[in-house]
Chains A and B, each alone.
Chain A
Amino acid sequence: MKRGSREYALWAIGELLIIAFALIPVLWILSLSLKTPETVADQSFIPQDWSLDSYETLFEGGIDDSPFIKPLINSLGIALITTVISITLAAFAAYAIARLDFPGKSLILAGALAIAIFPQISTVGPLFDMWRALGLYDTWPGLIIPYLTFSLPLAIYVLVAFFREIPWDLDQAAQVDGATPFQAFRKVIVPLAAPGVFTAAILVFIFAWNDFLFAISLTSSDASRTVPAALAFFTGESQFTEPTGNIAAAAVIVTVPIIVFVLLFQRRIVSGLTSGAVKG
């Protein structure tokens, strides 16, 4: 029994260490964002003086002068549009791969895998040149298109794994029971497929929300610059003030939605992440 309780304590300490390791940078950036401008450099982990100044200055000047509002809108718009298109295209492809028999199926999966490990920097130069010629440089579609390409493999793998588990014959059973094909699809198949689609959507959203390389290479202004890129170019209010507090506040704002997603849908995210990778 003694050995059992010691083992118990060791595992419990392990758990606490992992949770602390995962949370330290998050709590630190939150702490920085809540410090007053005078104490932001006081090196203490917990703020001594609290204030929301750093958040207020982010939104000062309204949509035209704030360094943050437009990038936030760009980030949200670009990530949402990417997610909708990517999931739609991936759902078509994943349905075909999971349910239909046709040659070239494994080639598509292998190609998707190749794109998942493709070095994105190798496409930056050509895209920069092409987008300037096509007028896509520094526009929303200019970022949405590469995000689509690089999120599709993830979405396809997750959806194929989910779709393979769905008992598709159920819709025929529903039709035998008198449902129209559309009712069978809407009432039987959609609820079964929804968790997988939703998981894939979260993962694609996180991917687009996170990107930095394309965001700084293919944009040049607030017309399309997303938050990660805007953060890298943040400047202090004057040349003598460091923008530490503002960066921290902006960082907290873009982190909150992700943490909410993660807390609400952790089980699905885990199964989505691993279903794609383990079987691939």
Chain B
Amino acid sequence: MSDATAAAGRRVGRASSRTRSERRLGWMLCAPAVIAMLLVTAYPIGYAIALSVQDLDLRFPEEGGFVGLDNYGTVLTSSLWWTDLFNTLFITVIAVSIELVLGMAIALVMYRAIFGRGAIRASVLIPYGIVTVVAAFSWQFAFDPATGFVNNLPLIADDKAWFGDRFSAFAVIILAEVWKTVPFMALLLLAGLTTIDDGLYEAAKVDGANAVQRFVRITLPLMKPAILVALLFRTLDSFRVFDTIFIMTRGAQDTESVSILGYNQLISRLNLGLGSAVSVLIFLSVLIIAFLFIRGLGARTREGRVG
């Protein structure tokens, strides 16, 4: 064996042992985080599935045992589940749509900000940082017929009981949700906006495109990926809506969301079997929504590549 090949062999040997130790180090560094993440997600969801096939009511601990899919049957045939699912989807669709339009407007204003870029960024971040429960209380007090300033405003009836009616309660809940989460949407869209080359707008201007045409033909298509990612995050986040409704109505006037239903079954009624069936169904709903979005996202990118 010549010296040259021996040296090459040593180099390969060293490289692969280095790769191996790099792998080992990578896994070791990631292991604690991965374990911590799985500990409270993968294991509990398995545990929830196990609970959901049992008749487990902590108020009647002597009863119980395996009941198969009975709990799912009970949930899926109750009108409460379907009402709550409708409420959750209703709030999600309306809130996220408003957020998309409003978030886009805010992003455009922030992008073009003339004065006080810092002031506007800071004020947009305040809703993001505020505790959701605090924001919910503030809006609830604002719309309270006895204490709130809203009913003092012109054009609004002095005695309007916002939380006494299902859809006016939804309006306040959606307003609070939009206020709290539109900054996140706006910042994501702003990040997408800044990736667009200004030259494109200049070129379009030269070709005689007006502001609306420039927005529809340049901004929107180029921002499609950013918009879809923002929509995915916000839709799945909004589907979990809990804090605002709990503070404002606790689900009264048929404003309950699926998360409130799960909480009521699990923690208020201590019915772990039925509550876990609700939990698993919520988990499946989120999977379905995520799947639909990711399929849409994939289709859009492929379409984009062809075009």
Contacts and interface: CB of A to CB of B under 8 A. Distances in A.
Contact of B151 (A43, A115, A121, A228): A43
Given A22-B123, A277-B233, A121 B179 contact: no
Contacts of A50: none
Interface stretch (A57-65, A172-180, A186-194, A259-267): A259-267
Contacts of B226: 278
Contact of A127 (B44, B124, B128, B146): B44
B33 A156 contact: yes
B279 A122 contact: yes
Interface residues of B, number: 97
Interface residues of A, number: 92
Nearest to B289: A117
A150 B237 CA distance: 13
Interface string B20-32: 0011011101101
Interface in B266-283: 266-267, 272, 275-276, 279-280, 282-283
A8 B134 contact: no
A272 to B, nearest CB: 10
A262 B242 contact: no
A209 B132 CA distance: 10
A122 B41 CA distance: 9
B45 A123 contact: yes
Contact of B47 (A105, A126, A251, A263): A126
A52 interface: no
Query: For B27, B179, B236, B237, which residue has the most chain A Cβ atoms within 10 angstroms?
Result: B27
B268 to A, nearest CB: 10
B59 interface: no
Given A18-B123, A262-B122, A212 B133 contact: yes
B106 A270 contact: no
A148 B275 contact: no
Contact of B29 (A96, A112, A116): A96
A261 B233 CA distance: 24
Given A117-B286, A278-B191, A29 B134 contact: yes
A26 interface: yes
Contact of B39 (A97, A128, A145, A269): A145
Contacts of A12: 114-115
Contact of B263 (A149, A217, A259): A217
Given A19-B120, A270-B121, 9 more contacts: A14-B105, A25-B179, A96-B26, A122-B48, A123-B44, A123-B279, A125-B266, A251-B138, A259-B126
A-B interface, 6 closest residue pairs, ranked by CB to CB distance from nearest = A102-B26, A149-B40, A126-B44, A96-B29, A126-B47, A274-B191
